[in-house]
């Protein structure tokens, strides 16, 4: 009886150690392909590393989406719940971050958005625009008096006509994820320098290119 109990205890301990080692191996973020994208069997590897509360509503199991965590300075590409690509430094608005930003405030908006335009000839090298201010932002801004009813109707009618929001109202716009272009990498590493966008370096923005398309969800948290 004692020998059996000892054997079972040793077996359980060995399984715990094996499980711990396997989890650590799956979370190795150092393995990359030549284009800077982690293969699906390494970091993405079957590891649930996402707090369920951070997931977008109605997420499809294989949907590609992007999490931008301003506090941790991480840009993470997910397929459903699984990590596909992680970038470990970003800079954001010099004015901070808030769910509702004002035009000219240099603040980065918080919330859930979608990529609505891609500019490959941007002065920042590559620009993934997001649909700020979207319908939810405009509705909340109207409710608390940040925009007038006329501005609200203008935002909605502009979106209906062009598929992208205007940037000329009190909420501003032209927000997105972009590279540095010819900007100073040292400034990028040391300061939050943008006018409200999220910036990564030129190599990193190119590594995001295979994953982001028109309609890709982008969740910005701060």
* Angle in degrees, CA 133, 136, 141, rounded to 5: 70
Condensed to tens digits (0 to 9), the pLDDT of residues 71-81 reads 999 999 999 99
DSSP type of residue 132: -
Rounded distance, CA 138 to CA 141, Å?
5
* pLDDT given at position 57: 87
Active-site entry in 48, 89, 167, 178 = 178
Kindly indicate the confidence band of residue 50, based on its pLDDT and cuts at 50, 70 and 90: low
Backbone angles phi, psi at 26, to 5 degrees: -65, -25
Angle between helices 149-162 and 135-143 (to 10 degrees): 170
Higher pLDDT, residue 87 or 29: 87
Condensed to tens digits (0 to 9), the pLDDT of residues 132-173 reads 999 999 999 999 999 999 999 999 999 999 999 999 999 999
89 noted as active-site residue? no
Active-site entry in 48, 153, 167, 197 = 197
Higher pLDDT, residue 154 or 7: 154
Share of the chain above pLDDT 90, in %: 73
197 noted as active-site residue? yes
Whether pLDDT at 41 is above 90: no
């Amino acid at each position: 009886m004692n020998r059996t109990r000892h054997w079972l205890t040793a077996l359980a301990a060995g399984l715990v150690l094996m499980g711990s080692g396997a989890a650590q191996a799956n979370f190795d973020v150092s393995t990359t392909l030549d284009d800077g994208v982690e293969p699906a069997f390494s970091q993405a590897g079957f590891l649930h590393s996402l707090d369920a509360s951070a997931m977008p509503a109605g997420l499809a199991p294989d949907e590609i989406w992007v999490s931008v965590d301003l506090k941790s300075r991480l840009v993470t590409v997910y397929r459903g719940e699984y990590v596909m690509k992680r970038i470990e430094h970003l800079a954001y608005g010099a004015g901070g971050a808030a769910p509702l930003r004002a035009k000219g405030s240099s603040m980065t908006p918080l919330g859930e958005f979608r990529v609505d335009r891609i500019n490959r000839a941007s002065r920042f090298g590559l620009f993934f625009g997001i649909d700020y201010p979207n319908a939810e932002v405009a509705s909340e801004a109207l409710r608390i008096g940040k925009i007038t009813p006329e501005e609200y109707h203008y935002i909605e009618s502009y979106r209906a006509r062009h598929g992208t929001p205007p940037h000329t109202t009190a909420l501003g716009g032209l927000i997105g994820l972009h590279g540095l272009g010819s900007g100073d990498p040292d400034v990028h590493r040391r300061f939050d320098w943008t006018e409200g966008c999220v910036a990564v370096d030129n190599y990193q923005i190119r590594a995001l290119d295979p994953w982001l398309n028109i309609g890709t969800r982008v969740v910005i948290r701060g």
